[in-house]
Amino acid sequence: MKKLSLYLLVVCSFVIITSTILFKLCNEGLRRVPFEEFGKLNEIMAGTTPYDLLIMGNSRSLLHVSPYILDSALHTNAYNMGTIDGSLNADLALLHAYLDHHDAPRYLLMNFDWWLPTDTLIRNEPFDYPKFYPYLDNKWVKKYLIPHSPQMKKVNTLPFLGLINYDDYKRTAALRGWTKSQRTVDVYKKGYFNRNAKFTGKDPKDTPPMKDCTFSDEGIRELDELFTLCNEKNITIFVFIAPGYRINEQLKVRQQDRDQLQQLMKLRHVVFFQDYSLRDEFLAPSWYCDAHHLNKEGAEYFSRIIAHEIEGFIHQ
């Protein structure tokens, strides 16, 4: 019994200590990555490059708005902070963290989806949560993301469990961070990412994340918190609803929720452009790479429209 206990103690202690050290080393490596997803996260969480226009939101911001097109039209220095499967929690954490290290931008451009302030999205575990592990000690990650993720809570308490959530992409990125090796082609350009694929309009799997988009109190509170933060920092907020191939036709949004959103935007001086998914020109599947996302060609066309809208507002 004594020998068995000693065996368990020695083996477990060795593994716990070694994997904790390796986890810390991995995170340090990831914090040094200058490219791709971690490069972008590192720029947001710890970077210092000043940007005067931030594009924020989920993948429908990430893939839809090219900072280069906005820059050339508006003479700004824009950065796309959009994240795949983003949520309001993630947006709040990222914006707060960004503002800790950077001067406030002049403008914030944000995609709004009707499902964002719903309970399902607010309470969901953040998508690909291990990407936030290098920043578990960040106060905004602690406030907005960890409470929604049982696994992040677990790793925050028992760091040796963190490595089991890393996939080979993250392990490779950590090694690259340490060896300072560069990517020949960084798929993220000023945070922006695009796809070349052409959508046929016939993929049955491409339905919205949920059809019933009843806003939750917490969702509205977080949206308000985001707008208020921008108001406090004198950031002008532009909101749009990104084009999607017939996805919004399937959504059920209550009139009272639409009214509530409108009131909130009015109260917080948000400039709402429009729901671009309703425009006839975006009903052609050839603009898309899937039902939710524009392809490269579509995104460039859409970015020019957005640039034109912002330009109109600025000249006003």
Partner 1 sequence: MLFNSFEFLLFFPIVTVLYFIVPHRFRWLHLLVASCVFYMFFIPVYILILFFTIIIDYVAGILIERSNGILRKRYLLMSLVANIGVLAVFKYFNFFIGNVNTIFLHFHILPREIPLLNIILPIGLSFHTFQAMSYTIEVYRGNQKAEHHFGIYSLYVMFYPQLVAGPIERPQNLLPQFREVHHIDYDRMVGGIGILLWGLFKKVVIADRVAIMVNIVYTHPADYRGITTILTMVLFSIQIYCDFSGYSDMAIGSARVMGFKLMRNFSMPYASRSIAEFWTRWHISLSTWFKDYLYIPLGGNKVSKGRWRINIMIVFMISGLWHGANWTFLIWGLIHGAFIIISAGLKHQSHISSKHPQRKKHRLHTFVNILTTFTIVTVAWVFFRAKTISDAAMMLKNSLKLFPLTTTVILQGGFGILSLIISSAAILFLFIVEHKTKDRYELFEKKSQYTWAFHAVLLLLIVTMGIFDHQSFIYFQF
| Among 84, 139, 169, 181, interactor with partner 1 by CB under 8 A | 169
| Cα 123 from Cα 286, distance rounded (Å) | 34
Residue 195 CA: distances (Å) to CA of 67, 80, 87, 170? 15, 15, 21, 22
Q: Which residue has the tokens 């969480």?
A: 45
Closer Cβ to partner 1, 128 or 311, answer by number: 128
Question: 45 near 81, Cβ under 8 Å?
Answer: no
Tell me: does residue 185 bind partner 1 (CB under 8 A): no
| Cα 15 from Cα 12, distance rounded (Å) | 5
Tell me: does residue 202 bind partner 1 (CB under 8 A): no
Tell me: does residue 200 bind partner 1 (CB under 8 A): no
Q: Which of 60, 58, 56, 97 is nearest to 80 (CA)?
A: 56
Choose the binding region for partner 1 from 15-23, 40-48, 76-84, 109-117 (rule: CB under 8 A): 15-23
Choose the binding region for partner 1 from 8-16, 39-47, 241-249, 272-280 (rule: CB under 8 A): 8-16
Residue 230 CA: distances (Å) to CA of 41, 138, 143, 170, 307? 20, 20, 18, 32, 20
Tell me: does residue 172 bind partner 1 (CB under 8 A): yes
Tell me: does residue 84 bind partner 1 (CB under 8 A): no
Closer Cβ to partner 1, 7 or 313, answer by number: 7
Question: Shortest gap between Cβ of 175 and partner 1 (angstroms)?
Answer: 7
Strands 271-275 and 236-241: parallel
Tell me: does residue 175 bind partner 1 (CB under 8 A): yes
Closer Cβ to partner 1, 51 or 166, answer by number: 166
Tell me: does residue 25 bind partner 1 (CB under 8 A): no
Q: SS3 string of 258-288?
A: HHHHHHHHHHCCCEEEEEHHHCHHHHCHHHE
Choose the binding region for partner 1 from 52-60, 171-179, 264-272, 291-299 (rule: CB under 8 A): 171-179
| Among 81, 163, 230, 261, interactor with partner 1 by CB under 8 A | 163
Tell me: does residue 160 bind partner 1 (CB under 8 A): yes
Residues across the chain = 316
Closer Cβ to partner 1, 181 or 250, answer by number: 181
Tell me: does residue 156 bind partner 1 (CB under 8 A): no
Question: 84 near 62, Cβ under 8 Å?
Answer: yes
Residues 6 or more apart in contact with residue 117 via CB below 8 angstroms: 88, 215, 216, 219, 220, 222, 223, 261
Closer Cβ to partner 1, 40 or 176, answer by number: 176
Question: Shortest gap between Cβ of 56 and partner 1 (angstroms)?
Answer: 26
Tell me: does residue 171 bind partner 1 (CB under 8 A): yes
| Cα 73 from Cα 19, distance rounded (Å) | 50
Closer Cβ to partner 1, 5 or 316, answer by number: 5
Tell me: does residue 10 bind partner 1 (CB under 8 A): yes
- Per CB under 8 A, residues contacting partner 1 are 1, 3-4, 7, 10-11, 14-15, 18-19, 22, 154, 160, 163-165, 167-169, 171-172, 175
